[in-house]
Chains A and B, each alone.
Chain A
């Protein structure tokens, strides 16, 4: 077992991060977040015949729906190339003859990309937070910060999955296919399957484990994490009744999210080291 040299991780991470700054990836994603969030904040209630900022809880609930679609997609696109891209271009062999271990290389790639993603998220949603701040009290700001923090964790989880796919995939084309497939599965299909199963069994089976199945999807963990921190939304969704108390604890949910970050990355390292 070789020791980990954090300096080597830092060097790779620094390159990945600055690459994303320089090619304006970070800027582009931040602008997308800002624009979408502002549109949602001001026109989110247009269907109810009103425009303009309403309450932070309703805004966050709308943003949660946006983020669930957007962030996993962005994270998967950001990460799918990490290892397979170097391999396909031919630069991986050169990197691996240097005094860096495979573990350090993956961790460095991950850290750099995660940094870029976090930076975009903070800049994009932070800008909206600043714009909205005159209308927010301390409690609302706290909720908004919680939303941003969990959005970052959601990105980290899908980035971790993306890096894992990048290690397993034979080429970039397959890696991108796997990434898109992963997005479809977790963001579009997973909830439908759960709901379908629940309806088919008329709730006779699995009613008790249903909430726990949500933990098998980082996007759902993110949803639950945010929805449960908002009293107004909680009653709006009517979820309080079906959800076990143990799972409404933010620490538990945060722990599950952490597992979704560490798990795929650990598998990626294991596979890459073979």
Chain B
């Protein structure tokens, strides 16, 4: 069995003269929670559809668990996949439980598994209500329950938290962590970078049909070598004292915002700077090291 559950080699998609995806190589290991980020038109939706077998690949290949998604073991491969489309559309005239029954039948999953899935996504109370009456967040949760049918080994989640309130987003990621503990691999896209940066194991930044960078959030930050920010709170004369102790250390900028001092400095200057700041004693009330956000990293790779 392949250790990489998703393996793309030179995957390319042409739409007429436009090359939407330009020879992407991507490996996702079994059990990973993998994020794919990129702005609209970066090619991530196209890559997603190629991985799912919804659009044919112009050249290259993509293997899911060692098999082509539309290959000879088509049905077997697809039974391992769960998919939650962006802004999932289900059938308005069916009730929640009927919707799951329909998809369960097509996936050859016993119908008796359905109520537990509704429970898992917090929709038990609405099982016999028509989807027409569901809110956007409820539809999204029903779509997620549908994706979980048949305990898939590989989940594709396209902008999964669209329409969910903060509480539901927290519940959603809790379920994702449970699934990862069970060994499920998940590939998700999001435009809310701050939301996924704490939650994915690795991510890929897509831009112009290419994957610009792949790695953990920390890898990407270090790879970009973006400056850190130290935020220091303290009493009167703080700015002068800080400037004094940091003399000789390469600092990019110091800004005072209210009673907080924001010091931008290169990553390699962090430890020496902290050692000197520790000598300030009571003058410094609080100190916070702020890593560059995924947004910073993302825009760093774009530019």
Contacts and interface: CB of A to CB of B under 8 A. Distances in A.
Partners in one complex: yes
Nearest to A108: B106
Given A11-B106, A15-B102, A94 B85 contact: yes
Interface residues of B, number: 29
Contact of A97 (B52, B72, B89, B93): B52
Most buried by A among B76, B87, B88: B88
B185 to A, nearest CB: 15
Contacts of A93: 49, 52, 54, 85
Nearest to B70: A2
Interface string B13-27: 000000000000000
A99 B79 contact: yes
30 contacts: A2-B72, A2-B74, A7-B108, A8-B106, A11-B105, A12-B106, A22-B93, A23-B93, A89-B89, A90-B89, A91-B90, A93-B49, A93-B52, A94-B88, A94-B143, A94-B146, A96-B53, A97-B78, A97-B81, A97-B83, A97-B156, A98-B78, A98-B107, A99-B74, A99-B75, A99-B78, A99-B106, A99-B107, A99-B108, A100-B106
Contacts of B91: 19, 91
Contacts of A99: 74-76, 78-79, 106-108
B85 A98 contact: no
Q: Is the interface of B mostly helix, strand, loop or mixed?
A: mixed
A217 interface: no
A2 B103 CA distance: 21
Nearest to A104: B106
A94 B49 CA distance: 11
Interface string B145-174: 010000000001000000000000000000
Interface in B156-203: 156
Contact of B83 (A7, A23, A94, A100): A94
A274 B56 CA distance: 10
A7 B72 CA distance: 19
Size class of the A contact interface (CB-based, 8 Å): 20 to 34
Interface of A: 2, 5, 7-8, 11-12, 15, 19, 22-23, 89-91, 93-101, 274
A7 to B, nearest CB: 8
Contacts of B90: 91
Contacts of B102: 11, 15
Contacts of B89: 89-91, 94
A5 B75 contact: yes
Contacts of B88: 90, 94
B51 to A, nearest CB: 10
A116 to B, nearest CB: 14
Nearest to A95: B106
A64 B88 CA distance: 45
Contacts of B52: 93, 97
